[in-house]
A = this chain, B = another copy of it.
C-alpha cells in the first residue's frame, strides 16, 4: 500500500519537462540536466510556422493538427486527406485542426511534447479548433470528425513516444497485482465486492498494453464532466450519459480504468457545487447540470485549442522555469525517479497548456498606455512586485476586486498576462490575510480595481466578449527571460492595509479600502470558489435556458459586458478562484474587440457592486 492509488497530477500547476528516458538526472545540478536547448534557441521541437501533428492524448485514431496562422488551411486539409490514406491501422483516423499557435509541442501533454511531430504545411488560421470533416468545407467551428487516415510518420512517432507511458501500464498491472496480495490471509470472505472496487477486466488489462489510445486523459474528473454536459445542447446529462460520454471520448476509462472511476465521477458530481442535479418533470429522471453562473461552457474541443502565439521564439519553453527557479526539489526528485515514477499507474503528464481555453489574443503592437490606469492600480502596492515582473515579456496586470489572486503559473506561452493584485484586502478584525490563497475574499471597495493589460488585446473565445477595458503601458520588457505567466498575491507586508479588529472600519489611507466584513455572507465570499460561482446572476426565465457564465447579465452593472471570469476560469477547468486568478497566456490574436481591456470586477461579481 505504499503504492496507493495516486491521483493524476493537478492540472495547471508548474510545468515540468517530461522526463524523457534519462532515468538518473544529476542531482547536484539545480537546474536539471534535461534542459539542453538554450532558452530562445530553436530546439529540436521548434518548427515555427509549421503544421504540428500529434496524437490526441486520449481519443484513439485521432490526431491533432496545429496549423499556424500563416499556413494555408486548404492545403493542409488536402495534405491530410492525401496522406491519411497511407496508414490506417484500425480504421479511419480523425483529425482535429487547431489554429492560432505556433504548433509547438509544448501545447500538448508532456508525453507528446518530446515527439517532435511537427510537419511542414501551410494553411489559413481560423479561430476555433476544427475537426476535419470528410468533405472539408473549411467552415469555422465544425466539430464533426473526418474519415481520413493519419500521417504515417507522425503517428508512428507518437506511438513510440506513447510506448513509454504504455509500458507503464504494463508495469502497473503487475504492480496492481502485487498490491492485491492481502498477506496475512486473514478473512477472504469479507470483501464486499462492490463491482466498483475491482481491477479492470483481464482483457482490458491486455488492451491497456496496446496502443489503443487508452492513456489516461490529462483532465480532471470535474473537467471531463463539464465536457460531457456541455456537449449537449440542453447542457444536462444523466449520470449514465456522463459515463458513456467519457468512455466514448476517453477510452482509458472504458478499457483501463478500474470500475472505481465511476465512483469518482459521482463523487465529483456531489462534491462540487457547480454540478447541480435536477429532476425531470415526471420526477423519474435525474439530470446533472452545471450552474449557469459557473458554466463556461467548456467543451473538449475548446480545450484542445492551443493558445500559442506564432511570434513566439521557438523552444523557449521547458527550460525557462528551471533556470529561473533553480531550486525545485520536486522536479529533481521526479527527474531522479523517472523509471520508478513511471511504474505507477499512468499519471497525468505534467503540462499546463492544454487546459487553457482562453482564446484571447495578444497583439504585440498593441500597448495600453498607463495614463488610462485608474489611480489605485499597480502604484503603491505593486511596487514591491516590480522586481518579480520585470523579467518576463509582455505582462498585463489585473487588479482583483477582493482578495489578492494566487500565485499560479501555467501555460508556457510566449505572451502572457500577469494578473497582478493592486490592493490587499482589508481583513476582518484587523487581521491580515495570509498569502496561501483561498479563504476570505474581502468585499470590494468603491474604487474598482481593474484588469490591466499593458500591451495586450483581448477577444473572447467563442462567446461574446464584452468587458470594459483600461490600459496600462506597464513595464514591457520583451526579453524572453521567465516567460512563464506568474501571478502573485500582493501579500501586503506593509501594515497600512491591516485594520484593527474593531468594527468594520474603512481606513482609506491606502489605495483601496474594503468592507471589513470578513465572514461569509451572501454578498461576500469566503473562498475564491465562491466568488467564481456567484459571479453572475441568472434567472431561469431568461432567453437562454442554460446560458454560460459569460452570457449572464451582470446584475446592476452595465449588462452588456460579459465577465472575464469565463476566460479566466476556462483555463482552470474548475470553479476555484485560486486557480482562476492566474497568469493568462494570450495567443492567436484575432481582430475582434481589440480595445476592451478594462475589466471591472464588479461586472464579474455583480453582488459586490
Of the candidates B191, B434, B522, the one whose C-beta lies within 8 Å of that of A279 is B434
Beta-carbon contact of B2 and A283 below 8 Å: no
Cβ–Cβ < 8 Å partners of A521 in chain B:
293, 534, 537-538, 607
Contact size class for A?
35 or more
State A430–B541 Cα separation when bound (angstroms): 11
Cβ–Cβ < 8 Å partners of A501 in chain B:
540-541, 545
A70 lies within 8 A of chain B by Cβ: no
List 20 interface pairs A-B (beta carbons < 8 Å), by A numbering: A1-B5, A178-B184, A273-B520, A276-B520, A277-B438, A277-B439, A279-B427, A279-B432, A279-B433, A280-B432, A281-B430, A281-B431, A281-B432, A283-B498, A293-B521, A428-B540, A501-B545, A502-B540, A505-B541, A521-B607
Chain A contacts with B in 525-569, Cβ cutoff 8 A: 526-527, 530, 533-534, 537-542, 545
Chain A contacts with B in 492-506, Cβ cutoff 8 A: 492-493, 495, 498, 500-505
> Min CB distance, A364 to chain B, in Å?
39
Beta-carbon contact of B539 and A503 below 8 Å: yes
A292 lies within 8 A of chain B by Cβ: yes
A595 lies within 8 A of chain B by Cβ: no
With A273-B520, A278-B429, A505-B541 given, name 9 new contacts (CB 8 A).
A175-B184, A277-B438, A277-B440, A280-B432, A283-B493, A292-B519, A501-B540, A501-B545, A520-B534
Beta-carbon contact of B189 and A340 below 8 Å: yes
Given the known inter-chain contacts A187-B337, A283-B432, please indicate yes or no for A540 contacting B520, CB distance below 8 A. no
Cβ–Cβ < 8 Å partners of A541 in chain B:
501-505, 516
* In the complex, per-residue mask of A183-194: 1 if CB is within 8 Å of any chain B CB, else 0: 110110111100
Of the candidates B186, B286, B430, the one whose C-beta lies within 8 Å of that of A434 is B286
Of the candidates B4, B192, B283, B517, the one whose C-beta lies within 8 Å of that of A4 is B4
> Min CB distance, A183 to chain B, in Å?
3
Of the candidates B183, B431, B502, B538, the one whose C-beta lies within 8 Å of that of A181 is B183
State A340–B540 Cα separation when bound (angstroms): 52
> Min CB distance, A18 to chain B, in Å?
17
A→B interface (CB under 8 Å): 1-5, 171, 174-175, 178-184, 186-187, 189-192, 197, 270, 273, 276-283, 286-287, 291-293, 333, 337, 339-341, 343, 427-434, 436, 438-440, 491-493, 495, 498, 500-505, 516-523, 526-527, 530, 533-534, 537-542, 545, 607
Minimum CB distance partner of A185 in chain B = B178
Given the known inter-chain contacts A498-B281, A526-B276, please indicate yes or no for A337 contacting B189, CB distance below 8 A. yes
Cβ–Cβ < 8 Å partners of A293 in chain B:
519-521
Interface SS, A side: loop
Beta-carbon contact of A523 and B520 below 8 Å: no
Beta-carbon contact of A178 and B183 below 8 Å: yes
Minimum CB distance partner of A175 in chain B = B184
Q: How many copies does the complex hold?
A: 2
Given the known inter-chain contacts A179-B1, A180-B1, A520-B291, please indicate yes or no for A283 contacting B500, CB distance below 8 A. no
Beta-carbon contact of A190 and B276 below 8 Å: no
Cβ–Cβ < 8 Å partners of A526 in chain B:
273, 276, 291
Cβ–Cβ < 8 Å partners of A516 in chain B:
540-541
> Min CB distance, A222 to chain B, in Å?
14
Minimum CB distance partner of A171 in chain B = B186
Beta-carbon contact of A2 and B281 below 8 Å: no
Minimum CB distance partner of A521 in chain B = B537
Given the known inter-chain contacts A283-B492, A427-B278, A430-B281, please indicate yes or no for A539 contacting B273, CB distance below 8 A. no
> Min CB distance, A342 to chain B, in Å?
10
Interface centre among A277, A291, A498 (most CB of B within 10 A): A277
State A539–B537 Cα separation when bound (angstroms): 25
State A538–B516 Cα separation when bound (angstroms): 12
> Min CB distance, A555 to chain B, in Å?
8
State A542–B523 Cα separation when bound (angstroms): 18
Cβ–Cβ < 8 Å partners of A178 in chain B:
182-184
Beta-carbon contact of B182 and A278 below 8 Å: no
State A175–B339 Cα separation when bound (angstroms): 29
Cβ–Cβ < 8 Å partners of A283 in chain B:
432, 434, 491-493, 498
Given the known inter-chain contacts A182-B178, A540-B518, please indicate yes or no for A278 contacting B187, CB distance below 8 A. no
Given the known inter-chain contacts A187-B343, A431-B279, please indicate yes or no for A438 contacting B270, CB distance below 8 A. yes
Beta-carbon contact of A519 and B538 below 8 Å: yes
Cβ–Cβ < 8 Å partners of A504 in chain B:
539-541
State A562–B527 Cα separation when bound (angstroms): 26
Cβ–Cβ < 8 Å partners of A500 in chain B:
281
State A545–B503 Cα separation when bound (angstroms): 9
